[in-house]
Structure 1
Amino acid sequence: MPVSRRPRTFAARLDSRVSSTPTARHFLRAYLAALPSGDRYTDIAGLLLGELFANAVQHSDAPADRLIEIRIALVGDRLRLEVHDAGSGRPSLRAATPEDEHGRGLSLVDELAERWGCCPRAGGVGKFVWALVAPTPVLPLAA
């Protein structure tokens, strides 16, 4: 029987600071590199994970020493991204004005993810925000 080379769920806990965002994206790229079609998720998934992670850092009311956990898994042909934090606030879409310097990240998530949502964490401490990423279509080669 052939052995499956598909990676299982990947999880990592990172410091709750914006400077950890590139590390989260690095882990995502490493996970996707092990998938036969991982390159079909890379661009959108990297953007979404970065936004979700940065939102967890900036908007969480959890103590600064709490870690943020990322989870990455392939579910069927959809990539599932999760960002867990100990904060109590839930993300909500809002319309940013042209003068606003922030406030567009969740709109990007809403636009680019196939679906997304927010759930309480097991044990009742904090929440996690998840997003499903569909693979980009394979374009036929021009004749």
Structure 2
Amino acid sequence: MLKVCCRPRTFAARLDSCIESTPVARHLLRAYLSALPAGDRYADTAELLLGELFANAVQYCDAPDDRHIEIRFAVTNGLLRLEVHDAGSGRPSLRTVTPDDEHGRGLFLVNELSAHWGCCPRAGGIGKYVWALIAPTPTIAAA
């Protein structure tokens, strides 16, 4: 199921909570960024982080009655804000990863590549959303 809401410079969509929706979320982000001036300056980092946040929401959501994930994008003060909403009760926590770990690097990447990130309760008290602010990559001046 895909439910989309657009306002100037903001975007929201509700997707099925399944790993197959992750590429759909990234595609919607690419479409959103392609419509913005200099949106390509956010693209690589934003796609990676959205994929990690969405996959975490699918994997760790413990709410069997609400199997949807909402994604939201907006540019504010030059930073791209990504939000991933789910009905789960758990809160993400950053953990130390070792070179041998096969999993668990998602939040590490979010922490390292975003300007700032966090987790907040959703309106109504059911679930949470994880957000990340992404700075545009600098443009390289021609020599």
The answer as to whether partners of 2:66 and 2:87 remain within 8 angstroms in 1 is: no
Q: Which has the larger radius of gyration?
A: 1
**Which amino acid counterpart does residue 79 of structure 1 have in structure 2?**
L
Residue in 2 that maps onto 1:131: 132
Residue in 1 that maps onto 2:142: 141
- Tell me the CA shift for residue 95 of structure 1: 1.1
SS of residue matched to 2:120: strand
Residue in 2 that maps onto 1:42: 43
The worse-fitting range, judged by mean Cα deviation, of 112-121 and 65-74 is 65-74
In structure 2, what is the Cα distance between the partners aligned to 1:44 and 1:64? 32
* Percent of paired sites with the same residue: 74
SS of residue matched to 2:71: strand
**Which amino acid counterpart does residue 52 of structure 1 have in structure 2?**
L
In structure 2, what is the Cα distance between the partners aligned to 1:126 and 1:87? 5
CA offsets 1:73-128 (integer angstroms, 9 cap, x no match): 01121000000000000000011233321101100000000000000000000000
The answer as to whether partners of 2:62 and 2:90 remain within 8 angstroms in 1 is: yes
Please state which structure has a larger fraction of its residues in strand. 2
Residue in 1 that maps onto 2:4: none
In structure 1, what is the Cα distance between the partners aligned to 2:107 and 2:59? 13
Q: How many residues align?
A: 137
SS of residue matched to 1:101: coil
Residue in 1 that maps onto 2:17: 16
Unaligned residue ranges in structure 1 (runs of 5+): 1-5
Q: In 2 relative to 1, CA 64–108 (structure 1 residues): closer, same or farther, beyond 3 Å?
A: farther
Q: What is the TM-score with the length of structure 1 in the denominator? A: 0.92
In structure 2, what is the Cα distance between the partners aligned to 1:64 and 1:111? 33
